[in-house]
Amino acid sequence: MKINPVGLYTHLCKSFGPQHWWPMDHSHHEQNNTDPRFEVMIGAILTQNTAWTNVEKAIKQLKKHHLLSVQALKDADTELVKTCIRSSGYFNQKAKRLQYLSNYLAERYDGDLDQFFLQSTDRLRKELLSLHGIGPETADSMLLYAAKKPVFVVDTYTKRLSKRLPLPVNAASYDDIQHYVEHELKKEYSTHELVQVYNELHALIVNLGKYYCKPKPICPNCPLLSLCHFGQQQEKEV
């Protein structure tokens, strides 16, 4: 039995329901006027190899110190930034990455995210990837969750899944997996729907990962075992 991304998405939706990651519709209980897109970009860097619960605390601290804007973060004392984001781990590197991004946006786009995101998705992605501390997953998270571009985000869980599932193709690298998933989902959904589908699918795979895609063990209690014959597939040998 082969599993393609469309079937996987359908099954995960039924099993886990909506995930609402970075929906940006919190405006009713956001009293401060920070740009939610910038908050998403900051969150994308802070969550690199880090549990989201740790990132939430860091973002709360940044907000408390009014550092959640391009200008404020650019001008902030680096030691204060480190203190604020301490809970998210790797705070030395991440403080530098946050301020590097802020400096770039300030100097290049006068801190105007509308102007920045106006460019084509391809150009935006290359530009983000050229920045220190922004790799493929962070760039794509920003494109999907901040800029609302139809880009599928590949993470560690997605890579593990693509090895363990009986996929019709052998996709190994980040770009391989991304192109394959996007190619399959484009057949089923319109461009407008794709933003929502990529959003949900990425979140659903991360959620599934908590049950199934741990580095070592394969959890026999995965809710999809009975649905998809997961777990019967051996890890592919190198």
Partner DNA sequence: ACCCAGGCGCATG
Partner DNA sequence: CATGCGCATGGG
Binding residue for DNA, selected from 18, 135, 166, 220, defined by CB under 7 A? 135
Query: Considering the rule CB under 7 A, would residue 44 count as an interface residue with DNA?
Result: yes
Of residues 227, 226, 210, the one with CA closest to residue 218: 210
For residues 48 and 138, the answer to whether their CB atoms sit within 8 Å is yes
Judged by CB under 7 A, the stretch of 30-38, 48-56, 102-110, 114-122 that binds DNA is 48-56
Which residue, 145 or 230, has its beta carbon nearer to DNA? 145
Interatomic CA distance for residues 114 and 3, integer angstroms: 39
For 203-223, b where at least 16 C-beta lie within 10 A, e where not — what string? bbbbbbbebbbeeeebeeebb
Query: Considering the rule CB under 7 A, would residue 133 count as an interface residue with DNA?
Result: yes
Residues 184-213 that bind DNA (CB under 7 A): 203, 206, 209-210, 213
Query: Considering the rule CB under 7 A, would residue 141 count as an interface residue with DNA?
Result: yes
Query: Considering the rule CB under 7 A, would residue 117 count as an interface residue with DNA?
Result: no
Query: Considering the rule CB under 7 A, would residue 92 count as an interface residue with DNA?
Result: yes
Residue with tokens 């494109």: 143
Judged by CB under 7 A, the stretch of 49-57, 73-81, 161-169, 181-189 that binds DNA is 49-57
For residues 106 and 70, the answer to whether their CB atoms sit within 8 Å is yes
Interatomic CA distance for residues 217 and 233, integer angstroms: 13
Of residues 179, 170, 192, 105, the one with CA closest to residue 140: 179
For residues 46 and 122, the answer to whether their CB atoms sit within 8 Å is no
Query: Considering the rule CB under 7 A, would residue 36 count as an interface residue with DNA?
Result: no
Judged by CB under 7 A, the stretch of 10-18, 64-72, 115-123, 149-157 that binds DNA is 149-157
Query: Considering the rule CB under 7 A, would residue 102 count as an interface residue with DNA?
Result: no
Judged by CB under 7 A, the stretch of 29-37, 104-112, 128-136, 182-190 that binds DNA is 128-136
Q: Return phi, psi of residue 216, to 5°.
A: -90, -70
Query: Considering the rule CB under 7 A, would residue 21 count as an interface residue with DNA?
Result: yes
By the criterion CB under 7 A, which residues form the site for DNA? 21-22, 43-44, 47-54, 57, 86-87, 89-94, 131-139, 141, 145, 155-157, 173, 203, 206, 209-210, 213-217, 238
